[in-house]
Amino acid sequence: MPEMPEVQTLVDALNRVDLVGRRISGAAVYWPKTIAGMPPAVFSERITGCVLQAVTRRGKYLVFRLTRGLQLLLHLRMTGRLNWERRGSARSRHEHVILQFDNDFDLRFHDTRKFGRMTLTADPAAVLGKLGPEPLGERFTLRHFQRMLAGRSRVVKPLLLDQTFIAGLGNIYVDEALWQAGIHPRRISDTLSDREIAALHQAISRVLQKGLENLGTTLGGGEGNFYSVAGRRGRNADALNVFRRTGRPCPRCKTTIERLVVAQRASHVCPVCQPLP
């Protein structure tokens, strides 16, 4: 699933093409369930004629700010990506929504597993208002993180994956941050020491910054992996320390990395660097 670095990479790429300031001249929906909250015909009617004013991000959502007081919120889920194609080029069978712009280009939502969702709304806070702080935002200070953890007693990995707690973290970057901080994913949050909380806060920032610098994480060559606009691959897979490195030596202590399941999510740990008390 694309996480914050991948979504931000897409936002940056979309802001480099001739997209912002363009009028949407039409919309075609080939998989109705992609559109949340309204019939596809209503979606097409309401979005046609809108001008795209900005492309931003909140958590794992791409946010397209439109005229008429509307915003289009796109959650890529597991396999979603965006293609910027010249009008008339052949449509892939996995391109489920196509937005046509007035410069003869299309923005096409490609989603192999069909889990992605688009929400066209005049009230984005109804969706985005539930999200926790941005982990690279000014609000996410160590003191604020300490206050967020105070009084909570949850398994640390699913807590970090909870988008209402912190927005934008997913399986890849949580595993990497926990390894950086030396914390086992099954630790209970109220057992973390002040030193461990500070180490985790710093690790979250570091792994996300690295992911952004490397333009996201693309794993393998499957169609369901992350690709930026124009099919560009992220480079961050080479920088991963534990995620999907089962059986390989830990970069820090050379102990074999293990795979386990935590809250129904595959997790990757070094049993020496991340001991479970």
Q: Are 163 and 60 in contact (CB under 8 A)?
A: yes
60 assigned to active site: yes
Element (H, E) at 29: strand 24-29
Q: Name the active-site residue from 2, 133, 135, 185.
A: 2
Q: Name the active-site residue from 3, 6, 85, 95.
A: 3
Structure tokens at 68: 């008429």
Instruction: Annotate 130-160 with b (16+ C-beta within 10 A) or e (fewer).
Output: ebbbbbeeeebeeeebeebbeeeebbbbbbb
265 assigned to active site: yes
Cα 171 off chain centre by: 10
Q: Name the active-site residue from 114, 134, 265, 271.
A: 265
Please classify residue 276 by burial: count the beta carbons closer than 10 Å to its beta carbon, then call 0-12 exposed, 13-18 middle and 19+ buried: exposed
* Rg, the chain, Cα only: 20
β-pairing verdict for 35-36 and 117-121: parallel
2 assigned to active site: yes
- In the three-class reduction of DSSP (H, G, I as helix; E, B as strand; rest coil), residue 196 is classed as helix
Spatial distance between the Cα atoms of 64 and 53, rounded to a whole number of angstroms: 8
Spatial distance between the Cα atoms of 47 and 57, rounded to a whole number of angstroms: 19
User: Which residues does the chain have with pLDDT short of 50?
Assistant: none
Structure tokens at 81: 């990506």
Which pLDDT belongs to residue 218?
Answer: 86
Which pLDDT belongs to residue 219?
Answer: 80
Q: Name the active-site residue from 22, 58, 60, 245.
A: 60
Q: What is the DSSP letter of 89?
A: S
pTM: 0.94
Structure tokens at 78: 């597991």
Which pLDDT belongs to residue 48?
Answer: 98
Spatial distance between the Cα atoms of 248 and 131, rounded to a whole number of angstroms: 35
Which pLDDT belongs to residue 230?
Answer: 60
- In the three-class reduction of DSSP (H, G, I as helix; E, B as strand; rest coil), residue 60 is classed as coil
Nearest CA among 205, 160, 207, 156 for reference residue 185: 156
- Residues sharing a CB contact under 8 Å with residue 14, sequence separation 6 or more, in sequence order: 55, 62, 82, 84, 107, 229
Element (H, E) at 161: helix 156-161
Q: Is 234 left (phi over 0), alpha (psi -120 to 50) or beta?
A: beta
